[in-house]
Amino acid sequence: MALLPFAAMAGETLFQTQIASDCRPIQMATWSHPTKEVMAERQVRLLKAELCREDKFPVFTVKFPYDPQGATESYFNPLYVEMAAANGNWPFAFVDPEDNLVVTVIPSGRNTVRLEYEPWSE
């Protein structure tokens, strides 16, 4: 699994300019999806969900039970792989406003994901 450092960019981030475009909110009360089940099982508090880029890229605003940049690989690596599988091995992103972090998860093979971290700002 590749762990990439924060992207150093002036102004808007890659996430803001290329990923989180054309987004629409998901109605949480009626939404049912395998990714929602994975987050519930892993105690990830889902605050908001959106579909971006022509409804093909989910963005989950969450509160993680641990710091995603801390020494918690035993928690996060399986979470990212399980989420990728639940999302049909399509890319997605977690936004963690409390830790000011965006984690973009890009499946890159069976049980393998590539992670891209960048700072979050609204």
> Per-domain residue ranges for the chain?
2-119
**Rounded Cα gap, residues 112 and 78, in angstroms:** 10
What does pTM read for this prediction?
0.83
What is the model's pLDDT at position 56?
85
Residue 93 DSSP symbol? E
> What does each C-alpha distance from 85 to 25, 26, 34 come to in angstroms?
22, 20, 9
Residue 13 and residue 102 in contact, taking contact as beta carbons nearer than 8 Å: yes
pLDDT in tens, 43-100: 999 999 999 888 889 999 999 999 888 877 899 999 999 999 999 999 999 999 998 8
